[in-house]
Amino acid sequence: MPRSLIAVALLGMITMPLMAAAPAATPNAWLVGDWMLCKDPDKSPKDTLRFAADGTGAVLRSKGNIETVYRVRESRVELLANANGRAIPITLTFTAARDVLTVHSEKTGANATYVRKDGKRVGECDV
C-alpha cells in the first residue's frame, strides 16, 4: 500500500472520532449567560439568573447563590431551584425576540422581568 494512502487512512482514523466528539450547536445559546432582575413591582431583593449551556445554572443573590437546573419548552424556561434540599419549580416565559424573561407571582399576581446583563434592554430597568 503506498505511503500516501496509509497516511490518508490514518488521518481519517484520527479525525473521525474527533469530529464525532465535537459538541452539537447549543439550541438555547441565546439563553446562556447572566440575566438581571430588571422590573419587579413586588420589590424583591435584586438577583441575577445565570444559565449555563449544559442545563445548569444559579440564582445569584447577596444572601447566597442557589443552584438550578433548567430546560426550555415552547416559550418557557422551566427551572428547578435547590432551596435547602427542596426543589422549587419556577417558570419563566420569554418574548419572541428572546430578550426578556418574565416570572409571574401567584402570590401577588405581579410580573417581574429579567434582561440580559449584556443586552440592549438594561437601560429600561428600574431595579
| pLDDT over threshold 50, residue 14 | no
Between strands 66-73 and 111-116, the pairing is unpaired
Number of domains in the chain: 1
Each residue of 71-81: pLDDT tens digit? 999 999 999 99
Per the domain annotation, does 87 fall within a domain?
yes
Sign of CA dihedral 84, 72, 104, 62: positive
103: left (phi over 0), alpha (psi -120 to 50) or beta: beta
Per the domain annotation, does 5 fall within a domain?
no
| pLDDT over threshold 50, residue 6 | no
Q: What is the CATH number of the domain that holds 69?
A: 2.40.128.20
How much is the average pLDDT of 26-34?
A: 92
Spatial distance between the Cα atoms of 117 and 33, rounded to a whole number of angstroms: 8
Each residue of 91-104: pLDDT tens digit? 999 999 999 999 99
Residue 7, SS3?
Answer: helix
Spatial distance between the Cα atoms of 83 and 47, rounded to a whole number of angstroms: 15
The better pLDDT of the pair 33, 22 is held by 33
| pLDDT over threshold 70, residue 106 | yes
Strands (DSSP E) contained in 26-110 are: 33-39, 47-51, 56-61, 66-73, 76-83, 86-94, 101-104
- Residue reference for cell 445548569: 56
β-partners of residue 111 are 104
- Given this model, what pLDDT does residue 87 score? 94
| pLDDT over threshold 60, residue 113 | yes
> At 125, which helix (H) or strand (E)?
none
Amino acid at the residue 115: V
How much is the average pLDDT of 8-29?
A: 50
Per the domain annotation, does 31 fall within a domain?
yes
Q: In which domain, by residue range, is 109 found? A: 26-119
